[in-house]
Amino acid sequence: MTFIDRHTSGVFIIAATPFTEAGAVDEASIDSLTDFYLGCGVTGMTILGIMGEANKLTAEEARGVASRILRRVDGRIPVVVGVSSPGLDNLKSLSQFAMDQGAAGVMVAPTPGPAVEDRVRGYFHQVCDALGPDVPICLQDFPQTTGVQISTATILTLTRDCPQIVMLKHEDCPGLAKVSAVRNGSATADTPRISILCGNGGLYLPQELARGADGAMTGFAYPEMLVEVVRTHQAGDADRAEDIFDAYLPILRYEQQPGYGLAVRKAVLKHRGAIACSRTRAPGPKLTATDEAELMRLIARTEANVKELSHGS
């Protein structure tokens, strides 16, 4: 069994949850989507996150999705399961299920509430106590969605005090200074290293890698770009990595529109054959005909960019 740890790097793709036209979980598309991600060369997967519409699934559906993906992956790559929940009991129960099924760790965001940092620290201690020391945790720092800001000092304190908090999903924005601060403040005499994977749709990935991030954890519908950028950057060719990134940037910045972006991602995934239907569960975003045309134009321009990039190389 592989667990995430303090040195995990690469690209953990955030997985969409595919639905049929009738709105049921689409099991066949779960398989094809998993195969698609594996085919893109991702290092890991993160499932049942916000992008996975986890909060619109029944508990049974959520477990079913996790099981099916974990079976399909079959240990080839580590899978992190999002378990954030208003109540600790439900969080614990889903975590145990996920770990039993072979997950590599769980992802937890702070619960909404006053952003005072002692509350946030207290909450993560409660989570660690509830899960027991054997469950590796990825701390999700996503204030735009959770409404809870976490300072670098709190992240480093938790890194020190909770041995099982091994990874940071960084998506504070603006957040580049925070990547530097966490990178420079961990792996020191008194604070262990923490793995940093970056979200925010990948919008600042080249800068984040240059500042010491270990990779990306996001759901961009061209995962092969993320993989290539991280690989090329780690191989030492930051310029080439950024050229690749820039070729996809127009569609990446389009996909990164908060809320609406999920519909874009699913439409691209469908366009690329990874899922059969782009439906989101209600209430959720939907593309109009104008949106579709706009997106198709961006897809065409992206594909032309990518072609040119390979010819140019």
Task: Work out whether 149 is an interface residue with a copy of itself (CB under 8 A).
Answer: yes
Q: In the complex with a copy of itself, which residue's Cβ is closer, 1 or 89?
A: 89
Q: Is 292 in the site for a copy of itself (CB under 8 A)?
A: no
- The rounded distance, in Å, linking the Cα atoms of 110 and 146 is 7
Assess 126 for contact with a copy of itself (CB under 8 A).
Answer: yes
Query: CB under 8 Å to 167, separation ≥6 — which residues?
Result: 4, 5, 6, 8, 80, 105, 136, 137, 138, 139, 194, 195, 196, 197
The verdict on whether residue 217 carries a ligand-binding annotation is yes
Burial category of 133 from C-beta neighbours within 10 Å (exposed 0-12, middle 13-18, buried 19 and up): exposed
Going by C-alpha positions, the residue among 234, 192, 193 that lies closest to residue 216 is: 234
Distance CA 60, CA 105 (A): 20
**Contact call for residue 203 and a copy of itself (CB under 8 A):** yes
Contact between 188 and a copy of itself per CB under 8 A:
no
- Does residue 116 belong to the site contacting a copy of itself (CB under 8 A)? yes
The three-state secondary structure class of 79 is: strand
User: Per rule CB under 8 A, is residue 176 in the interface with a copy of itself?
Assistant: yes
Query: What is the token pair recorded at 178?
Result: 């925070």
Residues 212-241 touching a copy of itself, rule: CB under 8 A, are: none
Stretch that binds a copy of itself, among 28-36, 70-78, 145-153, 267-275 (CB under 8 A): 145-153
Phi-psi region of 275 (alpha: psi -120 to 50; beta: other; left: phi over 0): beta
Q: Shortest Cβ distance from residue 77 to a copy of itself (Å)? A: 28
CB of 25 to a copy of itself, least distance (A): 10
Among 9, 20, 93, 234, binds a copy of itself (CB under 8 A): 93
Query: By CB under 8 A, which span of 7-15, 53-61, 96-104, 219-227 interacts with a copy of itself?
Result: 53-61
Interacting stretch for a copy of itself, rule CB under 8 A, among 34-42, 96-104, 226-234, 256-264?
256-264
294 in contact with a copy of itself (CB under 8 A): yes
Residue 277 interacts with a copy of itself (CB under 8 A): yes or no: no
Strand pairing class (10-14; 195-198) = unpaired
In sequence order, which ranges of 74-213 are alpha helices (DSSP H)? 88-100, 117-131, 143-146, 152-161, 176-185, 205-210
Which residues are CB-neighbours of 240 under 8 A, at least 6 positions away? 232, 313
56 is an interface residue for a copy of itself by CB under 8 A: yes
With tokens 């991280």, the residue in question is 230
163 CB contacts (<8 Å, ≥6 apart)?
133, 192
Candidate ranges 29-37, 55-63, 95-103, 218-226; the one touching a copy of itself (CB under 8 A): 55-63
Binding residues: 217
Which residues contact a copy of itself by CB under 8 A?
Answer: 23, 53, 55-59, 86-90, 93, 111, 113-119, 123, 126, 130, 143, 149-154, 173-174, 176-177, 180, 203-204, 207, 210-211, 242, 246, 249-250, 253-254, 257-261, 281-283, 288, 290-291, 294, 301
